[in-house]
Structure 1
């Protein structure tokens, strides 16, 4: 009898092990299929245009290439002489994306760095969403396919901004890893993570916020003070600042960024559109799935028992914080939507588990008494509907906003600016202007493209207009007045105050008044022009300005004699 029982037990144990292996294989296939779907989406979006999406990507990929060239020559980090009139002058420059730029180096080795930048953007964007999807698998959240589609359908602006060659994708990966370490209570690992995050992007403050939220949530749910989570995060952050090639200038730049952007009033100067909020109605309908997830999460968290609510409560506070800063500035829209989906997923999980355990924990005699009242076939149908049909229908429903978001984002990306628009003008400057001279660029946001094509010259303003404003407010106001055509005789001011003899301007209507002023003054001549841009040279001596339209001689009529 003993041998028989042992054999039966082994058989039962073997069946359990086989089911576990089968479950693991199924989940692995689901995860790989989901990762492929995510990657396909981002590579499809990325190559709807030839351009590097968002102009800052031109700066990031070119600067990464210069870092690589500096490393090969034994210079790390290399000097940055390109914006000498701003707070990013050679003495004060800080690369607060340093690790991100190092990660971009392999993509600069393509024959066309533009292609390398686009592949990097698609890859990092995919990894960011895959990391969120991995968190769902790691904690065995039910219906992973539903959450996969929800992650991709959560927001059109999210898809757009994650397609940029910028550090936000890597930032999301840092956030997800930090959340995993908090949930697993591996607090010591938060120190190296925070260190690397500081080297990568200035949004490392979200990791500090996450640690503080986790401490509060654990105290609320378990009545324990998890001070180590916050302490190790702060230690890693401080070390990241101190053990940094830009210390202590990196502290000054970080404070400058906070003072520039964290203001309840309007900005001191006209900054990039990403710093302003979205129109409310657009944000709502373009991120409808994310908003719906927030509502579902709020309702589900309210019905969870406190002992099971630590993780949902964390996502409640964290995603709400990200929603608030998204409402303040559109540049944070890439962070809130995926964490809104994670909030709903983790908030619903305790309810699903409680429902399953409630029925499964009934005594055997009670289940036996209830069995005659339950039709087995009907029970199987209900279970199949709950486990397969309902999630499938929800996925199909989510495919509608997914289709709209992907199509709309693809259309927006396809309309991006011509990446070669300034190449002709910058090639002329490289060939005719001595290296090291300052080029007066009439738009601060043209700098990344100018820098991409020409890194042997310097420029007046770039990356952010507040860098020039903070360095020299008077010069910043003069720059704005000149470029908008408010100065009737700008050439002497450009030469004397900015130290520039050559001017690069795009052919946009906003600069028509500037162009007319400088040409009509007689102090400048046009040396290069195409459909997209114009290069002007300031003269040593004033010439007679060209005649205006009113001064042009009248064309002879048919009745007038012609010489």
Structure 2
């Protein structure tokens, strides 16, 4: 029997490698030369270099008014391990981390396309257009943060769940727990899969649903995931401190901190009317595929139904925290592909459409000149629309922080203050830059304001009143309550600056275009 020979470009490995290379080019182009878009990037690079030079970081005295001071764990441990070769071999550690981010982001996009291909989704390559034209998705994946790789890790976990690759799933869950704090997503995906499996029975009654829920296969699946999580939590470099930290992980996901704590903008809700503007093409395709799935519900499989429900969950979570677009976009693409596959997308050809919908289409639309006009319009307008998100992401990444942000003030403090001196900073988001440039001094808070709030609510309110310019007694609060010897004030906090300049016990010792340093006499 003769073996069928496919053209070189149709070989699965060649196609996926081509996707990966294309993604590398896209994310390399998006990365600006000497700027970083997210302050946390400095923290990740600094912690990685500290791990390389001094071993595992177990104590974190650099945020004196935060939970990190008492219960620190590296919740991105394996992410930092993966960063190690890049920050060590590159001439500049920040540039090395950017190279890693480009590779990680390309992996995540390729993972989505790989799953679509494995699930035999027709026209799976269209997914790359939807992914690489979504500005929020491109922006989030281009940040020097764990989600650039975690998105791909979570989607592969879902593939292992649906294919019941239990051995791989055990170790993949273990890896996920050590890699990133979003690992509870594995439990959510498995729960959705089991629920859809139970509700997809031909005879829906409570007895059959109950039997399916506790079936041998589903119990094995639950056991493998729970086993992987338990082993990862116990055989862990941060055990048993990491068990205490679980409360904060779930608290951040469930508590509406944005209503009473000044947290990062990425955790604030996304208005429903902003969705079409930010996620136009993926959202349009997903809504259309949802409509198709509704009319062909009897054809939809457990795989398409479960992926659709996961997409809905991320839609809800995105409305709660806008950063979740990084997950919502790929799940829209996955859900759309699977729903259309089960609806019969494989038969979708021009001839099929003409025969199927000819009676619905007005005859004048089928005239040649009309079709040519529509084709010309599509050629002119569609590429511009598709590139719009690409341009938005490029601009958003470029107009951010330079590598040397806060370098002047950090170096002055490093050279003119004893090691371990506490600095009261006016902006918690500047901590990663200060920490990166000067780990000799200690600061008050950074990375996440919920950690300061949970550490001492009264001190959080005191700090908040000072930086908002609501408290005149800056010296008393900074020196007496927080034990600070220096005050670092960003010039973009005019209200605080007003009172600082009127306090005789604050001695201005350094100033540049970004910040002012006061010594608390």
Q: What TM-score comes out, normalization by structure 1 length?
A: 0.81
Is residue 267 from structure 1 mapped to residue 255 from structure 2 by the alignment? no
- Secondary structure of 2:485 counterpart: strand
Is residue 143 from structure 1 mapped to residue 127 from structure 2 by the alignment? no
Q: Is the 8 A contact 1:146 1:394 kept in 2?
A: no
| Aligned match for 2:167, one of 175, 180, 188 | 188
Give the structure 1 partner of residue 333 of structure 2.
341
Question: 1:477-556 to 2 correspondence within 5 Å?
Answer: 477-508=461-492, 511-539=493-521
CA deviation map 1:66-97 (0-9, x unaligned): 111123xxxx34432211321100x3112111
Q: Is the 8 A contact 1:421 1:533 kept in 2?
A: no
Q: Is the 8 A contact 1:222 1:307 kept in 2?
A: no
| Aligned match for 1:152, one of 132, 142, 150 | 132
Give the structure 2 partner of residue 98 of structure 1.
77
Tell me, in whole angstroms, the C-alpha distance in 2 between the residues paired with 1:500 and 1:230. Answer: 50
Give the structure 2 partner of residue 46 of structure 1.
31
- Secondary structure of 2:519 counterpart: strand
Q: Is the 8 A contact 1:215 1:230 kept in 2?
A: no
Between 433-442 and 115-124, the greater mean CA deviation after superposition: 115-124
| 1:31 Cα deviation after fit | 2.6
Q: Is the 8 A contact 2:190 2:222 kept in 1?
A: yes
Tell me, in whole angstroms, the C-alpha distance in 2 between the residues paired with 1:130 and 1:527. Answer: 52
Q: Is the 8 A contact 1:45 1:163 kept in 2?
A: yes
Q: Is the 8 A contact 2:258 2:267 kept in 1?
A: no
Tell me, in whole angstroms, the C-alpha distance in 1 between the residues paired with 2:104 and 2:467. Answer: 37
- Secondary structure of 2:424 counterpart: strand
- Secondary structure of 1:503 counterpart: strand
| 1:260 Cα deviation after fit | 4.2
| 1:25 Cα deviation after fit | 4.4
Q: Is the 8 A contact 2:135 2:278 kept in 1?
A: yes
- Secondary structure of 2:510 counterpart: strand
* Change over 3 Å in CA distance of 1:316–1:505 after alignment to 2: same
Give the structure 2 partner of residue 247 of structure 1.
239
- Secondary structure of 1:203 counterpart: coil
| 1:241 Cα deviation after fit | 1.7
Tell me, in whole angstroms, the C-alpha distance in 2 between the residues paired with 1:394 and 1:162. Answer: 29
Q: Mark the runs of 5 or more structure 1 residues left unpaired by the alignment.
A: 1-12, 360-389, 540-563
- Secondary structure of 1:482 counterpart: helix
Give the structure 1 partner of residue 206 of structure 2.
none
* Change over 3 Å in CA distance of 1:312–1:395 after alignment to 2: farther
Is residue 133 from structure 1 mapped to residue 122 from structure 2 by the alignment? no
Between 211-220 and 252-261, the greater mean CA deviation after superposition: 252-261
CA deviation map 1:230-267 (0-9, x unaligned): 22112211222222222232222221233345135853
| 1:118 Cα deviation after fit | 1.6
Which structure is richer in relative contact order (CA contacts within 8 A, separation 6 or more)?
2
Give the structure 1 partner of residue 429 of structure 2.
445
| Aligned match for 1:414, one of 375, 398, 401 | 398
Q: Is the 8 A contact 1:525 1:536 kept in 2?
A: yes
| Aligned match for 1:33, one of 18, 24, 27 | 18
- Secondary structure of 2:259 counterpart: coil
* Change over 3 Å in CA distance of 1:196–1:28 after alignment to 2: closer
Give the structure 1 partner of residue 4 of structure 2.
18
Is residue 56 from structure 1 mapped to residue 47 from structure 2 by the alignment? no
Q: Is the 8 A contact 2:63 2:444 kept in 1?
A: yes
Q: Is the 8 A contact 1:70 1:78 kept in 2?
A: no
Q: Is the 8 A contact 1:221 1:306 kept in 2?
A: no
Q: Is the 8 A contact 1:221 1:307 kept in 2?
A: no
Tell me, in whole angstroms, the C-alpha distance in 2 between the residues paired with 1:524 and 1:207. Answer: 51
| Aligned match for 2:101, one of 98, 101, 121 | 121
Q: Is the 8 A contact 1:502 1:537 kept in 2?
A: yes
Question: 1:349-368 to 2 correspondence within 5 Å?
Answer: 349-352=341-344, 355=347
- Secondary structure of 1:458 counterpart: coil
* Change over 3 Å in CA distance of 1:44–1:23 after alignment to 2: closer
* Change over 3 Å in CA distance of 1:236–1:171 after alignment to 2: same
CA deviation map 1:335-355 (0-9, x unaligned): 010110111111111333774
Tell me, in whole angstroms, the C-alpha distance in 2 between the residues paired with 1:220 and 1:482. Answer: 55
Q: Mark the runs of 5 or more structure 2 residues left unpaired by the alignment.
A: 203-211, 352-373
Q: Is the 8 A contact 2:293 2:343 kept in 1?
A: no
* Change over 3 Å in CA distance of 1:482–1:208 after alignment to 2: same
- Secondary structure of 1:534 counterpart: strand
Question: 1:366-405 to 2 correspondence within 5 Å?
Answer: 399-405=383-389
CA deviation map 1:88-128 (0-9, x unaligned): 00x31121111111111112212322211221222211111
| 1:396 Cα deviation after fit | 8.9
Tell me, in whole angstroms, the C-alpha distance in 2 between the residues paired with 1:321 and 1:418. Answer: 36
Q: Is the 8 A contact 1:441 1:503 kept in 2?
A: yes
Give the structure 1 partner of residue 452 of structure 2.
468
* Change over 3 Å in CA distance of 1:285–1:450 after alignment to 2: same
Over the residues paired in the alignment, what is the CA RMSD in angstroms? 2.7
CA deviation map 1:255-292 (0-9, x unaligned): 12333451358533111111101233332222011211
* Change over 3 Å in CA distance of 1:93–1:78 after alignment to 2: closer
Is residue 280 from structure 1 mapped to residue 299 from structure 2 by the alignment? no
Q: Is the 8 A contact 1:297 1:316 kept in 2?
A: no
* Change over 3 Å in CA distance of 1:414–1:279 after alignment to 2: same
Give the structure 2 partner of residue 168 of structure 1.
147
Give the structure 1 partner of residue 59 of structure 2.
79
- Secondary structure of 1:434 counterpart: coil
Structure possessing the higher radius of gyration over alpha carbons: 1
Between 302-311 and 453-462, the greater mean CA deviation after superposition: 302-311
- Secondary structure of 1:84 counterpart: coil
CA deviation map 1:485-522 (0-9, x unaligned): 222231133112111111112111xx223223233221
